Amino acid sequence: METQFSLAQLADTDIAEAEKILRSCVHCGFCTATCPTYVLLGDELDSPRGRIYLIKDMLENDRPASESVVKHVDRCLSCLSCMSTCPSGVNYMHLVDHARTHIERTFKRPLFERTVRGLLASVMPFPAKFGVLLRLAKLGKMFSPVMPKLLRGMLSLAPSTPLAKPLPAGRTIWSAEGQRKKRVILMQGCVQQVLAGQINDATIRVLTRLGCDVVVADGSGCCGALTHHLGKAHQALAAVKANVRAWTTEIDGEGVDAIVVNASGCGTTVKDYGFMLRNDEELADAAERISGLTQDISEFLVKLGNLSFTSETAMKVTYHSACSLQHGQKVTAAPKSLLENAGFSVSEPLEPHMCCGSAGTYNLMQPEIAGQLRDRKAANIARTAPEVVATGNIGCLMQLREVVDAPVVHTVELLDWATGGPPPNGLPQTASEQ
């Protein structure tokens, strides 16, 4: 794609990066075939190619974001399916993230929308605050009929199940059972701690059972993805820098073999820390090292090898591949091979590349599109007649569990069970007795 940026514009490293990405696009349109919003809406401007044109025009002319640009960029899920499809290697992720930052800086949203987005950014990354918000949301459901449409949609997503207790604050260590083989940092997450704390519990049990010391570093917290995708660059980078400093202290101290992440949305972002802090003189090298150490829990377990499966787990599992894992991190085989080796009968739904509509805060901000994608995914899952559905991301788990007629659990929960842990919540009692 031809661009017309001035030399003065290209002196900005972010604009220079955007230009490089734009120039790599050859207009082929392969991305439209796998873009969920284009498939649903049929609008070229709701395809990656269309959004690229809009972003190019906005950045090249150095103009504030228009309502049209905001509408179509906001509709992007950042599922990154287009990046798996693109034959030219266009880094759409970095381009759309840059566009969101530009939108946040130059476009004044309506007051209600600004308030909602500000609330999400200030609450969701902090487990204690998020827990309070969810409790208030449960109470607010009784008043939802008289609330604005967007707020009603958000309230409908508040879980009815009990909230989990977050991991202890500060530095925490779980020691390996038997001889220590590895030492790993666990990315504890934020939203997941409140909505599904059992995922961290299962991860810690599996890792310690397999001879790993597991550390949560003092000062670490949210990965920054939530605020990053809302275009709030300052807040996102503050979270990124806090994690880099906290994890570097552990790495430079006793050393670690990996940073293990069990929420694939977080993993995609942490693996991008090197890029996000590429211009930071203090932390660029440390961020790059951290990105290199980061592994999804399934990646790490495959590389660790020698898993001893002790439970009888002959169940039909439908594996839903989270977009951030298959497209963002290019991890596709590891979760399925682990489940198959554990004795599960594994299948995938039709259209495995298609997003379920969760996408961070997307199902809160774009509930109609998210609902259509959720129902489409649920219908495809139902055709596989699963006894249990496994996925690698908390967003997918929460999005699907109310509409799928089978328990929806994290992959690591099944692996924990298969290696001697308890059966995941929601499985039929007979499953644990097989």
pLDDT for 137 equals 74
Using alpha carbons, select from 14, 20, 102, 88 the residue that is nearest to residue 58. 102
- pTM equals 0.92
| Alpha-carbon distances, residue 387 vs 313, 373, 430 (angstroms) | 11, 22, 11
Q: At what angle do helices 233-253 and 284-293 cross, to 10 degrees?
A: 70
Res 321: pLDDT = 97
Ordered domains of the chain (ranges, CATH):
7-106 (1.10.1060.10), 111-156 (no CATH), 172-302 (3.40.50), 307-432 (3.40.50.1860)
Return all residues near 295 (Cβ < 8 A) that are at least 6 apart. 258, 259, 260, 261, 267, 303
CB 392 within 8 A of CB 415: no
Pairing of strands 388-391, 408-410: parallel
Give residue 148's pLDDT: 67
pLDDT for the residue numbered 65 = 97
Q: What is the pLDDT along the chain (434 residues), one digit of tens a residue?
A: 899 999 999 999 999 999 999 999 999 999 999 999 999 999 999 999 999 999 999 999 999 999 999 999 999 999 999 999 999 999 999 999 999 999 999 999 999 899 999 999 999 999 888 888 887 776 666 666 666 666 666 666 666 666 777 788 789 999 999 899 999 999 998 989 988 899 999 999 999 999 999 999 999 999 999 999 999 999 999 999 999 999 999 999 999 999 999 999 999 999 999 999 999 999 999 999 999 999 999 999 999 987 888 766 789 999 999 999 999 999 999 999 999 999 999 999 999 999 999 999 999 899 999 999 999 999 999 999 999 999 999 999 999 998 999 999 999 999 999 999 999 987 865 444 44
Angle formed by the axes of helices 198-209 and 297-304, to 10°? Answer: 10
Residue 434's pLDDT is what?
Answer: 42
